[in-house]
Amino acid sequence: MHSTLTEHARCLYGDEYRPAAQPCRPDHAEHNFIEELTFAGAESILAMLHELCPQVVDGLLPVWVRNLAYRLVLLQRPGEPALMREAAQNLWLHGPDWDDIAAELTRRAEALEAGRPGSPT
What is the pTM for the complete model shown? 0.88
Query: CA distances (Å), 100 to each of 41, 57, 103, 106, 117, in order?
Result: 27, 19, 5, 10, 22
Residue 14: is its pLDDT beyond 80?
yes
Model confidence over 61-83: pLDDT tens digits? 999 999 999 999 999 999 999 99
75 burial via Cβ count (<10 Å: 0-12, 13-18, 19+)? exposed
